[in-house]
Every structure is written in C-alpha cells, then in structure tokens.
Amino acid sequence: MPEKPTVLLTNAMHPDGEAILAPHVSLIVPPDARPETLRNFAGDADGIIVRAKLPDDIVDHAPRLKGIVRHGVGLDFIPVAAATAHGIAVANLPGSNTNAVAEYVMSALMYLRRPLYRLDKSLRSDGWNTARPAADSFTELSTTTLGILGVGTIGRHLAGIARGGFGMKVLGTSRRKGSLPAGIEEVSLADLFARSDAIAVCCALTDETRGMVSRDLIGRMKPSALLVNVSRGAVIETPALIDALKSQKIGGAALDVFDVQPLPSNDVLFDCPNLLLTPHTAGITATSGRAMAVGSAEEMLRILRGEQPLNLVNPAYKAA
C-alpha cells in the first residue's frame, strides 16, 4: 500500500476496528446509509466495510474498489456477483456473531415461555399476592423440543446450548441428508414444524429458502409452539404468521428480521399478540461488535495489501 487508500464504512464500528485501520487508510463514514449517499461516497473508495445494505449497482459507482468486507456474516447486503464480475474481492466473518445469535434465540424463548418482566411489573403495581399466581402459567424449556431450520454454524451452536444447558431435545433439517452432528435428530421440514415446541429459523436467504416457512408449515405447528426468526424476513410468509398469531393458532413468535427494514411504524406486526420484535440486533452485542470490527479491519488490510483474505467468498473474482 504505497499510498494511503480510502476505506468507506457504511456505518461507524467499534473503535478497536477503526484503530487498526487508521494508520494505514483514510476512513470515510457517511452521514447516513441511504443508497444515494453510499453511491456518492463510493467514488473514492478502495475498500468498503459493510454494515448496511449496499445498492445493487454500487460497483458501477466505485471505479477504484478492490475489496468489500462484510462486518458480519450474511452476504445479502453485498452484490457479490457484480463484485466478482468487476474483479473485486468479497470477504465475510463466519462465526463472528454465532454466540450472540444463539443466545438471542434462547433469550427470546425465555421471554415468551417464562416472562419474568410480567411478575416484576405486577409485583410493583399490584403486590405480592397478585403477582405470584401468574407464575403458574409459565412453562419451562426443559424436556421440550427445539426444531432448527438451518443447522449451520449458528444452528449447531444453538443446538449445543439447548441440549447441554436446557436439556431440550433437538430436531434439525438439512439440504444434505445425513450431515447433521450427533445429538440432532434429522427430520423432514414438515415433521420439524409438527413436532417442535419451538422453532428457530437460522438458514441463509436464498432462492430456495425464500418463503420456505409457508402457511402450510405454520399451520402444522402445535398451538403452544413458538417461532423465532434470526434468518431474514423473506424466509417466512409473513401474512401467514400474522394470521396465526392473531387467531392464536400458535403460542407466539420472536422476529429480529423483516420483509422491509427498518420496520415501518404502522406495520401490522405491532398489533400482533405474543410477538417479540427487535430491530435486527440478534448478532449485535458489545462482544460481537468488537470481534466483527477487528475481523473486518484485518480482512480489509489483507485485501489492500494484495493478500487473500482468510474468508474469501468469491475466489472467481481473480478471473475477472
């Protein structure tokens, strides 16, 4: 890197990551992550570190671009095919937020199954004798069944927590039959939804998984079953989930991802009962944030030095 290259951060990141980059590059953090803003700032960028969705045509506005690094795992924020065609390396950070997402799933299940916040509120407002009886309706996770849709890095880690920490039985489904680790019973997608007391959607968004959690599958769920989505909003047929929640055909749900993000303030999801909503933060904690910032900074410097990143996702870029 004879001259200081320029790196565009779609959003500010943990200071430790920026500190790694600062001696070697000029950092640009735009005022917002709107598509037109990112296009405007991309013109001078040699690298982009991605925390917000890039416009599909970003590479057409970035003639100097050598590398794009995902501050995280999911690649749907990056036009990988276009980057490859333009000879731009793309890297991500598999495993960087695995524990954070797995803990989110278990936290969501506890929130829905044993909502201690209700006892706290009742105790403060109504007193001891009124608050205590509410606990009789709470249920435990132990001895119940967790179904995992997408048994990749996150799904496997989640299975270990569910089995080892809570004593849950774990079911899973995979595109590659016979590939699931010991301790996860491999079942069909229909059986996963019919037999599980809680279902965690952890798969990547692809053409195959888009709309996979259909009205038919939701209709197979137990009346008390829970659904947690830490994948992408488009994996679930949202109108079917809304109908199931409003008609109380399932026990509840937790959604961290949505068809449209940010979630509009007037969205019908806000009116659904037994629904936990969070703003795409399952993988975000102080711990994972630092790990992703440091990892993405180090990957970006490798690319700018002409080295291969540790987690290159498009090796065909070299042929472009």
The predicted structure's pLDDT at residue 230: 98
Distance between the two ends of the chain, CA-based, in angstroms?
A: 22
Amino acid 262 reads P
CB distance 229 to 202 below 8 Å:
no
Mean pLDDT of all residues belonging to the chain: 96
d(CA 4, CA 27): 10
Percentage of residues in the chain having pLDDT higher than 70: 99
CATH code of the region 98-277? 3.40.50.720
Percent of the chain exceeding pLDDT 90 equals: 95
DSSP H or E stretch at residue 151: none
Give strand pairing partners of 228.
200, 254
pTM of the full predicted structure? Answer: 0.90
221, 196, 283, 166 alpha-carbon torsion, rounded to 10°: 150
Domain limits, the chain: 6-96+286-319, 98-277
Please say whether the beta carbons of 112 and 274 come within 8 A. yes
Q: What is the pLDDT of residue 22?
A: 97
Euclidean distance between CA atoms 4 and 22, whole angstroms: 10
CA distance 45 to 216: 46
Query: Residue 3 — pLDDT band, cuts 50, 70, 90?
Result: confident
Q: How far apart are CA 217 and CA 277, in angstroms?
A: 21
Q: Is the pLDDT of residue 252 over 80?
A: yes
Q: List the one residue out of 18, 24, 21, 22 whose CA is nearest residue 3.
A: 24
- Does domain 6-96+286-319 sit in CATH 1.20.120.1200? no
CB distance 52 to 11 below 8 Å: yes
Which element (helix H / strand E) includes 78?
Answer: none
- Asked if 81 and 61 touch (Cβ cutoff 8 Å), the reply is no
Tens of pLDDT, residue by residue over 220-231, are 999 999 999 999
- d(CA 227, CA 159) in angstroms, rounded, equals 15
> Token digits for 29?
């953090």
Question: What value does the mean pLDDT take over residues 119-136?
Answer: 96
Q: Assign 57 to helix, strand or coil.
A: coil
In the sheet that holds 6-9, the strands lie side by side as 26-28, 6-9, 47-50, 67-70, 89-91
Check for a shared fold between 6-96+286-319 and 98-277. Answer: yes
User: What local confidence, expressed as pLDDT, does residue 2 receive?
Assistant: 55
Q: Backbone phi, then psi, for 231, in 5-degree steps?
A: -90, -105
Report pLDDT digits (tens) over 73-103.
989 999 999 999 999 999 999 999 999 999 9
The answer to whether residue 189 scores a pLDDT higher than 80 is yes
Q: What is the pLDDT of residues 106-116, one digit of tens each?
A: 999 999 999 99
Predicted confidence (pLDDT) at residue 248 exceeds the cutoff of 70: yes
Alpha-carbon span 176 to 51, nearest angstrom: 30
